């Protein structure tokens, strides 16, 4: 049996809840390691009904990996909250570490990402998401709350993903192939040009998504 010192999965309590840190090993081995830790006698009482955040090392999860992670946790009555890559361990980053994954805002967890999201990277979060960087074409954000991007949005964003039509999407440059808010979908016109338009906000007005100036 693998000892705790050899484990590539670390589980710890924080002031914001339970945090699971995944190491740099092979994905299937990490999931087996996590499943074994959750089978320990004291784990059941500690985790039952909890919502956890997961730091995923240097990887952004693909949809199939997130589904597998969610399945393993739900088998132990554990709810998956935010998933995010581990922040780089520079001195400045260590000082800002708590802001790199979640910050409590009343009863709402805000996921903060201080980097550009590249093509193929997918972010899921059960609350608002704030990105300090660009969201490139081929990247995707699925959030239960608002999505604010202090950069250019060229990827796909779904705000209010649990059916909240009051959610909003804001970006310094708004030029995505598709926007979703709650149950509404809007596609970007092929001839849409964002040059010189300034920051914009997408919101649902009278049953459709409209784009308005974003006063930041």
Average pLDDT (148-160) is 93
pLDDT of residue 157: 95
Average pLDDT (2-11) is 66
d(CA 121, CA 118): 6
d(CA 146, CA 134): 16
Average pLDDT (21-27) is 86
pLDDT of residue 6: 60
Q: In what order do the strands lie in the sheet with 108-113?
A: 102-105, 108-113, 129-131, 147-153, 169-174, 200-205, 208-213
Instruction: Write out the two tokens for 9.
Output: 């999965």
For the cut 90, the answer to whether the pLDDT of residue 148 exceeds it is: yes
Query: Which fold does the domain 89-216 belong to in CATH?
Result: Pectate Lyase C-like (2.160.20)
Domain ranges of the chain: 1-86, 89-216
Class of domain 1-86: alpha beta
d(CA 96, CA 64): 30
pLDDT of residue 47: 72
Separation of first and last alpha carbons in the chain: 54
Tell me the CA distances in angstroms from 167 to 31, 64, 98, 121, one per residue in order. Answer: 34, 26, 24, 22
Candidate from 6-15, 21-30, 32-41 with smallest mean pLDDT:
6-15
pLDDT of residue 3: 45
Label residue 109 by pLDDT band (50, 70, 90): confident
Dihedral of alpha carbons 52, 53, 56, 60, sign:
positive
The neighbouring-strand residues paired with 110 are 103
pLDDT of residue 44: 62
For the cut 60, the answer to whether the pLDDT of residue 193 exceeds it is: no
For the cut 60, the answer to whether the pLDDT of residue 194 exceeds it is: no
Candidate from 17-26, 80-89, 115-124, 142-151 with smallest mean pLDDT:
80-89
Instruction: Write out the two tokens for 48.
Output: 């039952």
Across the chain, what does the average pLDDT equal?
A: 78
List, for residues 53-79, the tens digit of each pLDDT value.
788 877 767 778 888 998 998 888 888
For the cut 80, the answer to whether the pLDDT of residue 2 exceeds it is: no
Whether 108 contacts 145, CB under 8 Å:
yes
Label residue 107 by pLDDT band (50, 70, 90): very low
pLDDT of residue 153: 95
């Amino acid at each position: 049996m693998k000892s705790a010192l050899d484990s590539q999965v670390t589980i710890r309590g924080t002031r914001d809840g339970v945090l699971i840190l995944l190491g740099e090993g092979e994905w299937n081995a990490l999931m087996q390691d996590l499943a074994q830790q959750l089978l320990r006698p004291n784990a059941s009482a500690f985790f039952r009904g909890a919502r956890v955040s997961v730091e995923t090392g240097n990887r952004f999860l693909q949809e199939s990996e997130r589904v597998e992670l969610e399945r393993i946790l739900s088998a132990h009555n554990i709810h998956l909250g935010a998933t995010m890559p581990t922040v780089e361990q520079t001195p400045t980053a260590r000082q800002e570490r708590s802001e790199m994954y979640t910050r409590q805002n009343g009863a709402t967890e805000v996921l903060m990402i201080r980097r550009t999201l590249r093509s193929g990277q997918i972010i899921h979060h059960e609350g608002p998401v704030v990105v300090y960087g660009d969201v490139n074409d081929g990247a995707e954000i699925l959030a239960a709350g608002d999505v604010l991007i202090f950069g250019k949005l060229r990827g796909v964003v779904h705000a209010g993903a649990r059916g909240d039509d009051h959610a909003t999407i804001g970006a310094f440059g708004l030029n995505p192939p598709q926007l979703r808010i709650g149950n509404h979908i809007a596609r970007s016109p092929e001839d849409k040009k964002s040059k010189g338009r300034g920051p914009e906000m997408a919101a649902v007005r009278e049953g459709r998504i409209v784009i308005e100036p974003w006063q930041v």
